[in-house]
Amino acid sequence: MNFFQLRYDDSIADSWEIAAEWLNEDGSWKDVWSFSRGEYLLNPPILSFAIRKHGRVMDWNFCNFNIVVVSKRLAETLCVLAPSEIQLVPCQVRTDDEFFILNILNCVDCLSYERSSIDYGIPGPTVNQIPRGVRNLVVDPVKIGSHQILRVANWTVAIILSEYVFRTIEGEGITGAYYVRVSGS
């Protein structure tokens, strides 16, 4: 089976940009990183998102702090395709449309360390180092197993879709993303 990395499509010149507001009223930080840990949240923080750049509303939105915000239309599709692999958290976006934070519940150690181009940021042996950057990402389909949507362990910036999910959402004309095959040759 093939797998695809979902990436933000910055080629859409008239698209909007939204950003999480991360401070509580008392100035303390909300737990904004909780949405990229790959775990179900019993009491997720309530986040608001400001519009940083006005433009065409997108279905898939990559935001600061590694947060993904999806339209109601995309949320409903993902609930059908991978219901046990996601958690949808209502959020407030300053628009009339309804949006959800997409909490992906799987972080899978599927990075192909041998076939990907990885920057560890520190010269020397790479054993037990966590990647600081990954170019030319390649994943190991065997390690992914039957997952439909996941984040890559130790590189949670990367969101991976099964070919089934990719084909379905691409066919629905989901906006805001493009896809790169990452399951090797």
The percent of residues in the chain predicted with pLDDT above 90, rounded, is: 74
Packed helices 163-171 and 72-81: angle between N→C axes, nearest 10 degrees? 150
124 pLDDT band, cuts 50/70/90, is low
The percent of residues in the chain predicted with pLDDT above 70, rounded, is: 95
Q: Is a pLDDT exceeding 80 seen at residue 128?
A: no
184 pLDDT band, cuts 50/70/90, is low
Per-position DSSP letters for 145-184, written without gaps between them = TT-SEEEETTEEEEEEEEHHHHHHHHHTT--SEEEEE-S-
Please state the pTM of the whole predicted model.
0.91
Of the candidates 92, 76, 74, the residue with the CA atom closest to the CA atom of residue 19: 92
**pLDDT by residue (tens digit) across 14-59?**
999 999 998 988 999 999 999 999 999 999 988 999 999 999 999 9
Return the pLDDT at 127. Answer: 59
SS3 call for 138: coil
